[in-house]
Amino acid sequence: MASTLTTQTRVKDLGKPRVVIIGGGFAGMEVVRGLKDSDVQTVLFDRYNHHTFQPLLYQVATSGLETSAIVFPFRKRFSGYHDFHFRLGEVKNIRPEENFIETTIGGIDYDYLVIASGATTNFYGNAELEAKAMSMKTIGDAITIRNQIIRNMEFALLYEDQESMNSLIDFVIVGGGPTGVELAGALSELKNNVFPKDYPELDLAQMDIHLIEGSPRLLNGMSDQAGAKAKSYLEEMGVKVQTGCVVKSYDGMNLVLSDGRTLQTRSVIWAAGVRGNPISGLKEESVGRNNRIKVDAFNRVKGHENIFAIGDVAQMEGDALFPNGHPMMAPPGMQQGRLLATNLKNLIEKKPLKPFRYHDKGSMATVGRHKAVVDMGKIRLQGFIAWFIWMFVHLMSIVGFKNKIMTFWSWTWSYLAFDRSNRLIIGKGKN
C-alpha cells in the first residue's frame, strides 16, 4: 500500500485489516462501538476532538445548557478500546485506486473506508445569505448565536431611537423543521421569562421573533397534526409564524421576503436545510441529489467496493419508502452505523452481508415548557406527555453519565426557577 504522500499520522501497521472512519458524529460513533471486540485496527478522523449532541445545540445557543453538557471527548469515550486510534485532522481527499486518504496532518492507507462526514448548511446557492446569516451545525456556531443574542440585548440599551433598538432585539429564524421550531420556542421563553428580569429597562413588547418557512406548514417530516399544533404553540408564545414564504435576500439589516415584505433585523438564524458533505476523490457518478453519496443496500458507495457512506452524507438507492434517501437525522445514521460494523466483520470473515432497512421509531420536537409534539407510528401525542417523552429520550441519548447529570440539573433548574443557566458572552465578537 505505497503512497507518494508522506504519512505523518503515525498509525502503526499492525498487520490487521484497517478500517478508517471519517467523522465522529452519531453514525461514525456507532461503527467504532460495533468494531470494539473485532480483530481490526480502527482509525477515526475528525476535525474536532469531541462528539457533539447536535439535537441540543439550540439549547446552548439560547443559554439553556452549558457547552460541556452536550460534547464528549473521543479519547475519553473510546478509552480502553483495543487497536483504536483517534487523529485530529480534516480529510481532504480520497485516492480510491491506492486505498489512501489525504488529510491535513498527512496521509494514511485503509483496507475499508467509512465516510460519515455528515451534512453542512444548505443556503441554496445564495452567497449573500451564507455571508450574513448564522447557521447552527457545531458547538462553535451555537456559542456564536448565544453571544449575538446576549450582546444584542446589551447594546439595545444604548440606543434611543426605536428603529435601531428594534433591529437588535428582533430575531428571524428561517426554516420550520425541528431545529427552527425548537429554537423559536426557546427564544420566546427567554423573552417571556428571563429577559424581563435581566433587562427591565427594555420594552420587550417591541421584541419580535419571526419563524419563516417556505412550505405551507411546519415540521414537514412529521404529521399534519404535529405541524399544526407546533404552529399553535408558537403563536401562543408570541412567535410570528409565516409559512409559504421564502427569503429572497439579506444584507445584514434588511431581510426581503418573497411576499414583498422587509424585516429589519441584525440577527438571522438559518435552519432552512442541509446538504451532504462528501469528500473529494470519489467517482463523479457516486455523488447525487443534495450532494449526498449514492450507496447500495449495504451502504457501499456506488462504483467503489471497499468504501462505505453512512448517515446524513449517504443516499441509499432502491428503497421504495425513501426514494430520496433516508431522513437526515440521527436515528437512520445510528442504525446504518451499527449494521455496517456487523457487515465489515462479515466481509472480513467472508460471510454474507445484511441489507439495511430503516426502522422508524418516530419523530418529536419540543416547543417550550409543557409543549411538545411526538409521532410514534399511528400514535400522536402533544402537550405535557409529549414534552416528558422528548426530555427522557434526549437525556438518555446524550453520551456520558456526567453529561446526563449536567443536562438534567440544568433542565430542573430552568423548570423550577424559570431561568437559564448560562447567559455568558464568550470572546470579543462584533459591536
> What is the separation of C-alpha 77 from the centre of its chain, rounded to a whole number of angstroms?
20
pLDDT (tens digit per residue) in 76-135: 999 999 999 999 999 999 999 999 999 999 999 999 999 999 999 999 999 999 999 999
199 and 154 within one domain: yes
**Domain-embedded: residue 362:** no
Confidence grade of residue 2 (pLDDT, cut at 50, 70, 90): very low
**Domain-embedded: residue 418:** no
**Domain-embedded: residue 406:** no
Dihedral (Cα; 299, 303, 305, 309), 10-degree rounding:
-30
224 and 107 within one domain: no
Question: Of 272, 289, 317, which residue sits at a domain end?
Answer: 272
Question: Of 231, 248, 272, which residue sits at a domain end?
Answer: 272
156 and 82 within one domain: no
Angle at 300 between CA 297 and CA 301, to 5 degrees: 120
Burial label, 160 (beta-carbon count in 10 A; 0-12, 13-18, 19+): exposed
150 and 72 within one domain: no
Q: Which residues pair with 46 in a beta bridge?
A: 88
The confidence score (pLDDT) of residue 423 equals 87
Question: Of 329, 348, 367, which residue sits at a domain end?
Answer: 348
The confidence score (pLDDT) of residue 420 equals 78
pLDDT (tens digit per residue) in 158-170: 998 999 999 999 9
289 and 241 within one domain: no
**Domain-embedded: residue 401:** no
**pLDDT of 327 above 70:** yes
**Domain-embedded: residue 29:** yes
Distances (CA, A) of 91 to 87, 231, 294: 10, 41, 19
Q: 30, 102, 182, 213: which is the annotated catalytic residue? A: 182
pLDDT (tens digit per residue) in 356-383: 999 999 999 999 999 999 999 899 999 9
Buried b (16+ CB within 10 A) or exposed e, 31-57: bbbbbeebebbbbbbbeeebbbbbbbb
The confidence score (pLDDT) of residue 6 equals 45
258 and 144 within one domain: yes
Q: What is the rounded average pLDDT of the residues 249-273?
A: 96
Count of domains in the chain? 2
Range of the domain at 216: 127-272
144 and 72 within one domain: no
**Domain-embedded: residue 33:** yes
Rounded to a whole number of angstroms, the CA Rg of the chain reads 23
Looking up residue 340, the CATH number of its domain turns out to be 3.50.50.60
Q: Which residue has the cell 411526538?
A: 374
Q: Report yes or no: 276 and 333 within 8 Å, Cβ to Cβ.
A: no
Confidence grade of residue 3 (pLDDT, cut at 50, 70, 90): very low
Clarify whether 182 is annotated catalytic: yes
**Domain-embedded: residue 247:** yes
207 and 297 within one domain: no
115 and 76 within one domain: yes
189 and 96 within one domain: no
Q: What is the rounded average pLDDT of the residues 237-265?
A: 96
**Domain-embedded: residue 158:** yes
Q: Which residues pair with 45 in a beta bridge?
A: 22, 87
212 and 250 within one domain: yes
The confidence score (pLDDT) of residue 4 equals 43
Residues with Cβ within 8 Å of 31's Cβ and at least 6 positions away in sequence, in order, are 19, 21, 42, 114, 116, 310, 337, 340, 341, 344
**pLDDT of 416 above 60:** yes
SS3 sequence, the chain? CCCCCCCCCCCCCCCCCEEEEECCCHHHHHHHHHCCCCCCEEEEEECCCEEECHHHHHHHHCCCCCHHHCEEEHHHHCCCCCCEEEEECCEEEEEHHHCEEEECCEEEECCEEEECCCEEECCCCCHHHHHHCECCCCHHHHHHHHHHHHHHHHHHCCCCCHHHHHHHHCEEEECCCHHHHHHHHHHHHHHHHHHHHHCCCCCHHHCCEEEEECCCCCCCCCCHHHHHHHHHHHHHCCCEEEECCCEEEECCCEEEECCCCEEECCCEEECCCEEECCCECCCHHHECHHHCEEECCCCEECCCCCEEECHHHEEECCCCCCCCCCCCCHHHHHHHHHHHHHHHHHHHCCCCCCCCCCCCCCEEEEEECCEEEEEECCEEEECHHHHHHHHHHHHHHCCCHHHHHHHHHHHHHHHHHCCCCCCCCCCCCCC
